[in-house]
Structure 1
Amino acid sequence: MKRKLVYLPLLALLVLVLSSCSTGAIRNLNSVNNKKTTLIVGLDDTFVPMGFREKNGQIVGFDVDLAKATAKKLGQKITFQAIDWNMKETELRNGTIDLIWNGYTKSPEREKQVAFSQPYLRNQQVLITMKQSNINSFADMKGKRLGLQNGSSGQTLFEEKPKVLKNLVADKTAVLYDNFNTAFLDLQAGRTQGVLGDSIYAGYYIRQQQDPDRFQITTGGFSGETFAIGMRKQDTKLKRRIDTALNELREDGTIARLSQKWFKQDLTITLKS
C-alpha cells in the first residue's frame, strides 16, 4: 500500500509535465495566428526576379518588395531565410519558416499540404531554348535533353502530364537542378537543349543577357498558373490578414507598380467580385 502511495505523486507530476509540454506545443503552433512579432519567409535565394541575392548579399526581388509592403500593412516585421526549395513544405510544417513566398505556384497537390493566400500574379511554364537549335515547339524536343528545377511546379507538370513533354524528351526524363541559374548555364553550354521554367523567370533572365536574341521562349500544352503565398493550414487568422493586405495593395496599385518595375509589364491578377 505504501508503494502505491509513493507512485501516485510521481504519476501526478508526470501528467503535469506532459500537459505543460502539450500546451507549449499548441501555443507554438498558434503563435502566428496570435500575431507573431517577426514573420519568417522561406525562399530560394537564386530565383530571379522573385527573390535573389545581389553581389553585396542583400536579398531583393518582386516578392521581397511585396512581402515588405504586406508586412507594413500587417504592422509586423519580416525576415527572409534561404531554404532548400525541394524541402519548402517540410520547413513550413516544422516551423522553421512561417511563409513560402517566392514565386510559389498554387496547385491542387500543394493545397493538400498548405493553405494559400489569394493569388496575386500570373505565370506560365514555358520552354527556353537557344535559337540556333531550331526548336520551335514542344514536339521539336523529341529525343533531346531537358532541364528542370527540382521541386518546381514545372517538374510537377512534367510528371503529371507526360503526353505534353515527358514522353518526347530523351529517356522520358529530365536533368534536375537545385536552381534555374545552373540549368541555364547547362543550356548555354549545350549539355541540355531546353529548360522548362516560369515565364516570369525566363523573361527576366533573358533580358539581363548581353545578347538576348540568342534565346527563344516557346509555349506549349501547359495552362497558365498563379502565384500565391503558402502558410500552415492552422494559421487561419494570418491568412485573413494577408488576404486583406493583398487586396489593399492591389487596389492602391502597389502590385501593378512592382510588376512594372521587375517584369516591364503588369501581371497582376484581378479577382472576380
Structure 2
Amino acid sequence: MEYIKNKGSLIVGITDFEPMDYKNESGEWIGFDADMAKQVAKDLGVEVQFVEIDWDNKILELQNKSIDVVWNGMTLTDEVTSSMACTNAYCNNAQVVVLPSDKADAYKDVDSMKDLAFAVEAGSAGEDAAKENGFNYTALTSQADTLMEVSAGTSDASIIDLLMAGAMIGEGTDYPTLTHTLELTTEKYGVGCRKDSDLASYINDEFKKLYEDGTMQKIAEQYGVQDAVVAQ
C-alpha cells in the first residue's frame, strides 16, 4: 500500500462493462465498481485513474504494474485466485446465454444450443462456460462486443454476466430485441491485486466499513445491483 500512497494514485484496470464500469455522457467512468473504487481511493488519500485493458491480459497488466487493481466484475476463478491477491467476494453473479428474443423459445437447454455460433469475451468466465459446455465460439475483446455480434446476426448467441444482461438487454436498453435465457454457472466477483501487495486486505476492511455504514448498498442501488451485493 505504501507504493500506492507514494505515487499518489490508484490505477484501476477495467473494461466497458455496464453496470460495473462504463462512461457517462461526459466521458467519466461510472458504475458500481467505478464508484466503489473512487470511494476507496478517496479514503486512501490518493487519486483514482481508470485504464481500459484487454481482459485476456489482466494478470499480465497487474504483474507489470501497468495497473494496481483489476476492479471490473471479475469472477473469482481458480486462475484468478492463484495469480492475484484477491479480496473477499462482494457481488453474486451468473453466466447467462443471450439470444434474440424471437428465437429464445427454441433454445431451453445446453443440448439444444450445441449447433449455435457463440460470441464470448476472451479470458472471461463466459469463455470458460463455453468451453465447459462444448459450444462453438469466437472470442472477442469485450462483453459489449459480443452483444453487438448477436444483435447484428453475426453470431447466434453470446454468454455474458447476468448483471450486465440486466443493464444492457431487453426493453428500454440499447438491445431491446435481445433476451437472456439459460443460466450456465453461478459465481462471485472480487477485486484482484498483486500477489506481493497488502492492498487486498485494505480493500476488505473498506468493504466491511462501507457495507456497515450503508455506502455500498447506496451505490449499488444507483446501478440496480443491490440484490447481488454480498454481506461483508
Residue of structure 1 aligned with 2:12, choices 33, 41, 49: 41
Q: Is the 8 A contact 1:137 1:220 kept in 2?
A: no
> TM-score under structure 1 normalisation?
0.77
| CA-CA distance at 1:210 after TM superposition | 6.3
What is the percent sequence identity of the aligned residues?
28
Number of equivalences: 229
- 1:155 matches 2:127: yes
Aligned equivalents of 1:137 and 1:253: distance in 2? Answer: 39
Q: Is the 8 A contact 1:129 1:215 kept in 2?
A: yes
- 1:233 matches 2:195: yes
Over 3 Å counting, the alpha-carbon distance change for 1:80 and 1:221 in structure 2 is closer
Over 3 Å counting, the alpha-carbon distance change for 1:110 and 1:210 in structure 2 is closer
Quick check: which one's strand share is greater?
Answer: 2
Over 3 Å counting, the alpha-carbon distance change for 1:194 and 1:250 in structure 2 is same
- Unaligned 5+ segments in structure 2 are none
Larger Rg: 1
Q: Is the 8 A contact 1:62 1:259 kept in 2?
A: yes
Question: Pairwise mapping of residues 11-26 of structure 1 onto structure 2 (< 5 A)?
Answer: none
| CA-CA distance at 1:94 after TM superposition | 0.5
Q: Is the 8 A contact 1:137 1:218 kept in 2?
A: no
Question: Pairwise mapping of residues 71-90 of structure 1 onto structure 2 (< 5 A)?
Answer: 71-90=41-60
| CA-CA distance at 1:176 after TM superposition | 1.4
CA RMSD of superposed structures (Å): 2.1
- 1:249 matches 2:220: no
Q: Is the 8 A contact 2:94 2:184 kept in 1?
A: no
Aligned equivalents of 1:241 and 1:189: distance in 2? Answer: 44
Question: Pairwise mapping of residues 191-270 of structure 1 onto structure 2 (< 5 A)?
Answer: 191-206=154-169, 208-209=172-173, 212=176, 214-222=177-185, 224-236=186-198, 238-263=199-224, 265-270=226-231
Q: Is the 8 A contact 2:120 2:137 kept in 1?
A: yes
| CA-CA distance at 1:154 after TM superposition | 1.3
| CA-CA distance at 1:181 after TM superposition | 2.1
- Unaligned 5+ segments in structure 1 are 1-28
Over 3 Å counting, the alpha-carbon distance change for 1:268 and 1:35 in structure 2 is farther
| CA-CA distance at 1:221 after TM superposition | 4.0
| CA-CA distance at 1:97 after TM superposition | 0.7
> TM-score under structure 2 normalisation?
0.90
